Chain A
């Protein structure tokens, strides 16, 4: 079967007519750059004071709606967090900003670990030197009376 040029032209136009709206649609529904669950665990419900993924207050639903709206606009997670800070302030971030008194949230655990590690490194060798492991004393061995000693010898003789 051979196709006429006219039929080929009609086919080409039909394919183009199908392809153009499909391409436009795919451009409009671009893949979101993040998801609600990905953002939720990094921000707080500003009213309830808990992470948004755990919050059930009506305000939490409003925040989720706002985040979903920003996701639908194609914003990345970082851009969304920036928008949320502009709306609700720094309190909306689950990780406190590293400034002012908030620095303590990062610094104190770090100093504690370093301090305890240093103390252990200094004190443990000293403690071990002071309390060396004691060898088992000879008088720890139970003393057998003659009858028990004889029975033990007889038992051992059976296995020889």
Chain B
């Protein structure tokens, strides 16, 4: 099934690292749908934030193991995307 635009980008990641990258490299990090591909992410970000995307780098983040007493479990796996923008564009995440 085709992913809708707002299903692709789940949320922007506002962290120390991401704000630093935003300032220095004009790169912004997002949590994205685990099955979204780079093209979908590029389109989604361009549409949502009205910017021009130069590059999308993705990585799969494996969930961390968790344990409640004797029950082993893990947090969910997720996909992170770092989107590099054209220097003319910026995203205000705050």
The yes or no verdict on A and B being binding partners is no
B interface, CB within 8 angstroms of A:
none
A interface, CB within 8 angstroms of B:
none
